[in-house]
Structure 1
Amino acid sequence: MNTIQNILVAYDGSEESQRALDYAVNFAYENEKIVLHLITVYQPAFSIAYTYANYPVEQANYELKEKNEEMIQNVKTDLSFKTNLSIVAKAIEGYPGNVLTHYASMNSIDLIVIGSRGLSGVKELFLGSVSHHVVQKAECPVLVIK
Structure 2
Amino acid sequence: MTEHFKEIVVPVDGSENAVRAVRYAIELARPLNIGVRLFYVFPAASVEIIGMAGMSRADIDQAAQASAQRAFDKTREALGDDGGVKLEEETSMGDPAEEIIRYTEDDNAVLVVIGRRGLSRMKSLMLGSVSDKVMRHARSPVMVVT
Superposition TM-score tier, normalisation by shorter sequence = 0.7 to 0.9
- TM-fit CA distance, 1:65: 2.5
Q: Is the CA contact 2:8–2:111 (under 8 Å) kept in the aligned structure 1?
A: yes
Aligned to 1:135: 135
- TM-fit CA distance, 1:108: 5.1
Tell me how far apart the structure 2 counterparts of residues 111 and 22 of structure 1 sit (CA, whole Å): 14
Show structure 1 runs of 5+ residues with no match: none
What amino acid is aligned across from residue 21 of structure 1 in structure 2? Answer: V
What percentage of aligned pairs have identical amino acids? 28
TM-score calculated relative to the size of structure 1: 0.76
How many residue pairs get aligned? The number is 139
Q: Is the CA contact 2:10–2:22 (under 8 Å) kept in the aligned structure 1?
A: yes
Q: Deviations over 1:102-121 (max 9, x none)?
A: 111245543110011169xx
TM-score calculated relative to the size of structure 2: 0.76
Aligned to 2:95: 95
Change in Cα spacing, 1:109 to 1:79, as seen in structure 2 (3 Å) is: farther
Show structure 2 runs of 5+ residues with no match: none
- TM-fit CA distance, 1:141: 1.4
Change in Cα spacing, 1:42 to 1:133, as seen in structure 2 (3 Å) is: same
- TM-fit CA distance, 1:28: 1.2
RMSD: 3.1
Q: Deviations over 1:74-128 (max 9, x none)?
A: 7469869533323221121110101001111245543110011169xxx797211
Change in Cα spacing, 1:48 to 1:105, as seen in structure 2 (3 Å) is: closer
